Amino acid sequence: MAIQTQPDMSKMSLEAETYTSIGQYSKAEELYKRMIDITQHHEGTEATSRELYNLSAALINQEKYKEAEVTLRDLLVQLTSRLVDGNSDHFLEQEAGAVGLLCRALKGQGKSEEAEMLEKNAADQQKQLQARGNAYGLSQL
């Protein structure tokens, strides 16, 4: 009976980042998609946020704006469904980054008006989160 091992995700991530840094976005895209599949299988959909974010950036760099938009909207559903607490900084930063990428994807499709509205809403939400964080003593939000 053969032992089935999980691929080395750190190695795959480093390889995908290398492809991204040298402009080989399609190879990075392939790796990020594999990583998402593996992570979903072993840890569940909630654990894929970093890979979805990186995949979206690779798609935008290839001008695959529609596919990036769909991926980013899925990512934002994941990120916004998490509770805001003292450990939320990473997810809030990732959410802000995802909104920025989504705006780029929308603008790439000629949806500038929607992108501008999203940017305004994101700025308003950031102010609300900051106020909520201050109210609960979470000044780092």
Q: What is the pLDDT of residues 116-128, one digit of tens each?
A: 999 998 887 777 7
Q: Identify whether 46 is part of a domain.
A: yes
- Domain of 113? 10-135
Does residue 5 register a pLDDT over 80?
A: no
Average pLDDT, stretch 103-113?
Answer: 97
Q: Identify whether 5 is part of a domain.
A: no
Residues 6+ apart with CB under 8 A from 108: 60, 63, 65, 68
54 CA to centre of own chain: 6
Q: Specify the pLDDT at position 1.
A: 46
Do 52 and 39 contact (CB within 8 A), yes or no? no
If one compares 108 and 139, the residue with the highest pLDDT of the two is 108
Q: Identify whether 4 is part of a domain.
A: no
- As a residue count, the chain comes to 141
Do 56 and 105 contact (CB within 8 A), yes or no? yes
Looking up residue 52, the CATH number of its domain turns out to be 1.25.40.10
Do 73 and 47 contact (CB within 8 A), yes or no? no
Average pLDDT, stretch 60-75?
Answer: 97
The total number of structural domains in the chain stands at 1
- Interval 82-107: pLDDT, tens: 766 656 666 777 888 899 999 999 99
Average of per-residue pLDDT values in the chain: 86
Q: Specify the pLDDT at position 135.
A: 67
Q: Tell me what percent of the residues of the chain surpass a pLDDT of 90.
A: 57
Q: Identify whether 129 is part of a domain.
A: yes
